[in-house]
Amino acid sequence: MNTNFVISQADRRPMYLQLMEQMKRKVAVGDWKPGQEIPSIRALAASAQVSVITVKRAYMELEREGVIVTRQGRGSFVADDAGLGPHLQYQELDDHVAAILDLSAALGLSPEELEQRLRNARHKIRKVKS
């Protein structure tokens, strides 16, 4: 099981949020499958070189969001929800779209200008793929 996590001290977000994002990505892309056991809090803390408290906070939040489940005495597992991966992918896309909207507003772009930039980007991607 790939447990390589990179926690950046330069990132302004709390470490537990960085950890959560990376764990969600592993579920979204299928690296961690539904029902699969995930590393223990202590093992992940050692691997990511963060405190046990940081990992525990990430696990509690992921459990609250329904991404993982913890079974007393057995460990923590990816939730069995078969639609979880695509759901997390759409959630990540929505987060990126919100960031694009915030940036375009800060730049003073009109909705039409933003739409044109999206069309141009799609056109560039099509050229690269063909």
Q: What is the pLDDT of residues 49-103, one digit of tens each?
A: 999 999 999 999 999 999 999 999 999 999 998 677 788 788 888 888 998 999 9
* DSSP result, 31-79: SS-TT-B---HHHHHHHHT--HHHHHHHHHHHHHTTSEEEETTTEEEE-
**Statement: residue 1 has pLDDT above 60:** no
DSSP 23: H
Averaged confidence pLDDT in the chain: 90
Residue 106 and residue 125 share a domain: yes
> What is the percent of the chain with per-residue pLDDT over 70, rounded to a whole number?
97
Same domain, 72 and 92: no
Question: What percent of the chain is modeled with pLDDT above 90?
Answer: 65
Asked if 73 and 107 sit in the same domain, the reply is: no
Expressed as residue numbers, the domain containing 98 is 84-129
Q: What is the pLDDT of residue 82?
A: 60
| Average pLDDT value for residue range 1-11 | 82
Indicate if 27 and 72 belong to the same structural domain. yes
Residue 27: per-residue pLDDT: 92
Q: Contact at 8 Å (CB) between 59 and 41?
A: yes
pLDDT at 33: 93
The answer to the question of residue 121 being in a domain is yes
Please count the structural domains in the chain. Answer: 2
Comparing C-alpha atoms, which of 66, 62, 68 is closest to residue 35? 68
Looking at residue 69, its pLDDT comes to 95
Q: Are residues 48 and 91 both part of a single domain?
A: no
Q: Is residue 10 part of a domain?
A: no
Domain boundary among 78, 98, 116: 78
pLDDT at res. 64: 93
